[in-house]
Structure 1
């Protein structure tokens, strides 16, 4: 088996892992599954020789897990700086800018947004990844990101319709964020 087939096989595994990511309303499960997908797709890109995309996806995996613990602006800035530094260092073609832009945008979204807003921003980031993966010839990468585009888009519409009917699809997520803020404020006051 040659490296191309191995790389495409790893991409298909990433597709299988990632296909259900965006149906999660629970932010913790969403982020854990997204992180797992990102780690596997990073391996795929490295095997394909797409270093900027591999580094961006690898940073995505780590960054997504870290956002479960903190939404610190300093940590966000560090990940954006790492994405730009590592991604731009290996840049060989203008299309390789797309995963760097996508990762930067999604980093901002995961650290500063939640709920529907976060999903909308990540949808825009996904457009960058779809275009890059198609250009690269990544079968699994193109399939999964195109699936993310459709699934996340449909879930954005579904969640928005729920909100219009007075249903909060992110009620649990919002409660967790409020509890974390209250603990942080209590820690600062004491």
Structure 2
């Protein structure tokens, strides 16, 4: 089996891990599954030779785990600076700026927002990753990020409709945050 197909297989594994992530209402479980997905897809990108995306994805994994423990603005800025420094140093094509921009946006969201706002920012970040993955020719990456756009988009609409009916879809999350 060639390295190309091994890389694609790792991308498909990431797809399997990530496909159910956005249906989770509990932010902690959502973030932990996002971290696992990010690490696997980062490995996929490195295997595909997309080092800027690989760097962004692996930083995403560490950032996401840490964001379950702290919402410190200092920690957030450390990850944004690392993303820019490490990611920008690997950029060879303009389209490779999309995952870096998406990582910066999602870093801000994971440290400074919650609930529906987090999911909306993540949806915008995902749009950049989809574009990058299609350009790269990443089968698993394109499938998963395209799925994220659809699944997260549907859940954003669903959660918003619940809010308009007076139901807090993130009640368990708000309760957990208040007890920390």
Per the TM alignment, residue 177 of structure 1 is displaced from its structure 2 partner at its CA by 1.6
Q: Which residue of 1 aligns with 2:33?
A: 33
Partner of 1:118: 118
Structure 2 distance, partners of 1:22, 1:143, is 15
CA–CA separation in structure 2 for the residues paired with 1:173 and 1:45: 32
Q: Distance in 2 between matches of 1:90 and 1:165?
A: 47
Distance in 2, matches of 1:111 and 1:48, equals: 30
Output the CA distance in 1 between the equivalents of 2:131 and 2:90: 19
Using the TM superposition, give the Cα deviation of residue 176 of structure 1 relative to its aligned residue in structure 2, in angstroms.
Answer: 1.6
Q: Deviations over 1:137-174 (max 9, x none)?
A: 00000000000000000000000011111110000111
Q: Which residue in the other structure is 1:134 paired with?
A: 134
The count of aligned residue pairs is: 180
Partner residue in 1 for 2:89: 89
Q: State how far apart, in whole Å, the 1-side matches of 2:27 and 2:96 are.
A: 29
* Runs of at least 4 residues off by over 3 Å: none
Q: How far does residue 179 in structure 1 lie from its aligned partner after superposition?
A: 2.3
Q: TM-score, normalised by structure 2?
A: 0.99
Provide the residue aligned with 2:166 in structure 1: 166
5+ residue gaps, structure 1 = 181-190
Q: After the TM superposition, which residues 14-53 of structure 1 pair with which residues of structure 2 at under 5 Å, given as runs?
A: 14-53=14-53
The corresponding residue for 1:70 is 70
Structure showing greater radius of gyration is: 1
The Cα of 1:178 is off from its aligned counterpart by: 2.0
What TM-score do you get using the length of structure 1 for normalisation?
0.94
- Aligned partner of 2:58 in structure 1 is 58
Q: Distance in 2 between matches of 1:159 and 1:90?
A: 38
Q: CA deviation at 1:175?
A: 1.4
User: Equivalent residue for 1:186?
Assistant: none
Give a deviation string over 1:1-23, Cα, whole Å, max 9, x none: 11100000000000000000000
- 1:83-121 C-alpha deviation (Å, 9 max, x unpaired): 000001111000100000000000000000000011001
RMSD: 0.5
